[in-house]
Amino acid sequence: MTTLLAFFFTLAVLIVFHEFGHYWVARRAGVKVLRFSVGFGQVLASRRDRHGTEWALSAIPLGGYVKMLDEREGEVPAEQLGQAFNRKSVAARAAIVAAGPLANFLLAILLFWGLFMGGVSILKPIVGEPPTNSPAQLAGVQTGETITRINGEPIASWQDLHWLTLKQVLRGNALQIETVDQRGYVAFRVIAVPERTDELEQAPLKALGLVRYLPPLAPVLGQISPDGVAAKAGLRTGERISAIDGVAMRTWEQVVETIRHSPGRGLRFSLEHDGQKREVSLAPATVRDGALTIGRIGAGPRVDPALLVSLHGTAHYGPLDSMRMALARTWELSTFSLEMLGRMISGQASLKNLSGPLTIADYAGQSAESGVASFVAFLALVSVSLGVLNLLPVPLLDGGHLLYYLAEFLTGRPVPEHIQEVGQKIGMGLLGLLMFFALYNDLSRLFFQ
């Protein structure tokens, strides 16, 4: 229910803001707006305002539209010809069309601005012990080090680390990192980027061996999944795993490694709780983790919240700095989205990076459960993506119309209708293909990962 509500709220906000951009500029340009609809298809509810605009809620909530007075779509009374969209100048029509995507960028800027002013919760970029033979381990990265720069760009949070790593990886650049350890010693390291894989593009930190640092945890059971192997075997929260198959367990990391390397193999757990000892036999479930087959029992460690305080922080910024950072973040996301799209078209990046409505709904639910700040950041990200998508020079999208208006401006006459019709068919084909890949990726993630 949380996922559904978050998804529909996301759609409502983005659609209304986008279409209101078209509506607001159209009214300022003297164009009569006949209908402002949230959703497509049959109108479920509507009301008409004093300007004659019908505000409607329609049956299919995956979009919206603003219908304007236009001679190409029906007869227009002589006294209203001056309010027809097609009678306006090229500049006015272009401004009306561009206003939708620009409204999405404006929304993202405002959301980021509010986030930076309200205080951004950050996870400090402190790294744990890299896996054996991973690029980070081969580069000499040590547990407990804080990464302060990547290729000259400053790092303030784990989110920054992920973002900048992804940018460098997609460009094929090695990571030149600056680190500082717990004693204050600064080191410079170079992490080689391996050959491009889907995992490298979708989870670059994991592929490079850059893992989050966690204080050493005792091998004490915390959260236990109701449907997991641990629950079915009778393991209980608060029990200490003193040994597995007779090998003493001193940290939770030892427990995890033992289970990961024992998929489907019977293990004997020695447990202690309130002075009582017992043994339980179980076989970890066999699961896929990328290209690996690992064991999992469906249990997590008991974590003292005080241990994690030093790993988190909150960054506050003033109004001007917040606006500067909001503009920079929106610009970075926009240019990166275009760069990523170009790489997918040229084959330099996998089409698996495309996401459709199911993935968006999943992320909407996850971010909503993580808190208001997380959900607002998600809204801003999707708003930027929507703005970029609509500006692509593809017929049916706003960018396609802008391309027609550019041609009209250069030639002095409108693009012939038969050419626009051909363009619409091409646009429908391209968008259909895009949606196919996005839905295929959604279903693959849902059922096969």
Query: Could you report the per-residue pLDDT of 57-76, keeping only the tens digit for each?
Result: 998 877 888 999 998 888 88
pLDDT tens digits along 263-281? 999 999 999 998 899 999 9
Alpha-carbon span 435 to 389, nearest angstrom: 12
Does residue 445 register a pLDDT over 70? no
Does residue 359 register a pLDDT over 60? yes
pLDDT of residue 290: 60
In the numeric block, the tokens 């996922």 are attached to 3
Report the pLDDT averaged over residues 175-182.
Answer: 90
pLDDT of residue 350: 67
Q: Which pair of tokens denotes residue 46?
A: 């509507």
In the chain, the N- to C-terminal Cα span, in Å, equals 22
CA torsion, ordered 390, 394, 395, 400, to nearest 10 deg: 60
pLDDT of residue 117: 87
135-215 has which fold?
Pdz3 Domain (2.30.42)
pLDDT of residue 308: 67
pLDDT of residue 99: 95
Q: Which pair of tokens denotes residue 299?
A: 């249990």
Q: Which pair of tokens denotes residue 314?
A: 């909150």
The pLDDT confidence band at residue 163, using thresholds 50, 70 and 90, is: confident
Please choose, from the candidates 402, 418, 420, 398, the residue with its C-alpha nearest in 3D space to the C-alpha of residue 410: 402
Residue 129: helix, strand or coil by DSSP?
coil
Alpha-carbon span 73 to 62, nearest angstrom: 23
The pLDDT confidence band at residue 349, using thresholds 50, 70 and 90, is: low
Residue type, 390: N
- Please tell me the pTM assigned to this model: 0.68
DSSP 86: G
Residues of the chain within CATH 2.30.42.10 domain(s) are: 135-215, 221-302
221-302 classified as CATH 3.30.1370.140: no
E strands within 108-256? Answer: 120-123, 146-150, 153-154, 175-180, 186-191, 221-224, 240-244, 247-248
Does residue 364 register a pLDDT over 80? no
Report the pLDDT averaged over residues 16-39.
Answer: 93
pLDDT of residue 217: 84
Alpha-carbon span 384 to 362, nearest angstrom: 18
Cα 21 off chain centre by? 24
Report the pLDDT averaged over residues 17-25.
Answer: 94
pLDDT of residue 321: 84
pLDDT of residue 132: 85
The pLDDT confidence band at residue 396, using thresholds 50, 70 and 90, is: confident
Does residue 40 register a pLDDT over 80? yes
pLDDT tens digits along 317-326? 788 988 988 9
Q: Taking the CB of residue 37, how many other CB atoms lie within 10 A of it?
A: 20
- Interstrand relation of 276-282 and 285-289 (parallel, antiparallel or unpaired): unpaired
pLDDT tens digits along 133-144? 899 999 999 988
Report the pLDDT averaged over residues 164-170.
Answer: 84
Least confident window among 3-12, 103-112, 195-204? 195-204
Does residue 367 register a pLDDT over 80? no
Does residue 448 register a pLDDT over 60? no
pLDDT of residue 353: 65
Q: Which residues are catalytic?
A: 19
The pLDDT confidence band at residue 383, using thresholds 50, 70 and 90, is: very high
Q: What are phi and psi of 88, to 5 degrees?
A: -80, 160
- Average pLDDT over all residues of the chain: 86
